[in-house]
Each structure stands twice: as structure tokens, then as C-alpha cells.
Amino acid sequence: MSDSPLLVADDGAVRTLTIHRPERLNALDSATIRALHAAFEAATADPAVRVVVLTGSGPKAFVAGADIAEMSALSAVEARDFSLRGQRMMRFVEKMPKPVIAMVNGFALGGGLELAMCCHLRIAADTAKVGQPEINLGLIPGFGGSQRLLRLAGRAATLELCLVGAPIAAERALQLGIVNRVVPAAELQAETTKLAAQLASSAPLALRGMLDCVNVGGECGIEEGLEYESAQFGLVFSSEDMREGTSAFLEKRKPVFTGK
């Protein structure tokens, strides 16, 4: 039996990564961060994978945070390295050319919320709770929480979540733009599978171009972003998928995209 902190399962073009540390509520330690980084690199390199779904094992937690037992023994230098390791992994996810969906099945706190926020889409169960409670430990977010939360929910909400440290319900997270959808817990798997299948049937090169445009546009001025969008728009016109998509529309049939 494998002692890996990560379970990997493929269903057609959709790969599901499940953080499997239920005894620790799927807390992120160094080994899990390394395993996640390797798994996302493998999914990026595998042409058979078009979409990745990320979730946590068990009914209680997506990821309840970073592993406090491991963190409590770190020196200042080691803590900085731990932070950078987590940030590199999450930045890799954020910049992936394939959509990554966080299926938030329970608590997403601290490093768990940071991990969810680096994914491209987030679907949460109505029983889930999210938050940045590091202040309660005399800490601050270390995996990008202050930065991604600021970009998703704005300054006021970021300050409230990070300074007060209290978790919020999934519906409140939806109102703030932290998650994209909230569904009944019993329907979370089905709704996520449906969305993943929809994305997996889309044109891979167009998906990649759209992800790139949003990533670039979120970090530059509008003129540079518009120029980048035009370049990507022109680039997809050289693809077979673009010809297939437009032909299928005119012929009133469903397109079949090959990623070429």
C-alpha cells in the first residue's frame, strides 16, 4: 500500500488529484507540497490530460491548512524556504496551460485556501468554510494568501479575513468572489465532474490562450494586456481546432477538438 500523500486518478481527459492525509485533515507538509508540484508537472506534460481536478480526502477538509506540527519546529530561515517552496508550487499551478478546478469539499483554511485560490476555478460544497486564520497562531499567510485574496476579493475583505482570522461560510465566499460556485454537498462531485467534462471537450489551445491572457492581464497595464490578447487571438487562427470549431458551427454539428 502506497504511503503517498496524493492519490491520482484519470477519467478520460480529466485527472483528479486527491490530497490524502485524512488523519491531518489533509494539511500541507513539505512532502505533500513536493508531491503536488510533481503531480502538476506530470499533468502538464501528459497530452492525454486536458483538465485537472484537485480535492481533499474525506468529508471534513479540502485542506485544513499547512502542517502546524512541522512548521512549529522551523527556524526563521527554514520557514522562509517552506514558504517559497509552497509559493513556487502554487505559482506553477496558477500558470498551468490546462484548467485546474479546486473541488472544495470541506475546510479550506490557511494554506488550504491559498491552494484553492491558485486554481483557475473553485467549486465549493455549501458546507465548506474558508479562511486565513494564521493570525490566531501569531503568523501571517505564507503561500500567497495576502496577494491572491486581495486580487480576488479586494482590500476590505482581505484585511478582514487576515486580521480577524475567522472562517467564513461558502455562500459568503461566493459573494466575495473567492469561489465561483456553491452547490449542495451531495452534488459537489457530480457538478465538478460536469464542469471538468465540459472543459475537457473544449479546444485545448484556446483554453491555454485564455488562461495565458488572464494571467498576463492580471499583472500588467491594460494596453499591454490588450496587445497580448490580440497576439493570442491571431495565434489560434493557425490551429486546426479553430477551423474545426468554425466549420462545426456553420455545419450545425458538435466540434471535435484535437489540440492541434
Instruction: Cite the active site residues.
Output: 114, 134
Collapsed DSSP state (helix, strand, coil) of residue 168: strand
Burial level of 74, CB count in 10 A (0-12/13-18/19+)?
Answer: middle
C-beta pairs of 19-23 under 8 Å, 24+ apart in sequence: 19/54, 19/55, 19/56, 19/57, 19/62, 19/63, 20/57, 21/57, 22/57, 22/58, 22/60, 22/61
d(CA 127, CA 74): 33
Beta carbons of 99 and 199 less than 8 angstroms apart:
yes
Q: Provide the b/e sequence for 128-153 (b: ≥16 CB within 10 Å).
A: bbbbbbbeeeebebbbbbbebbeebb
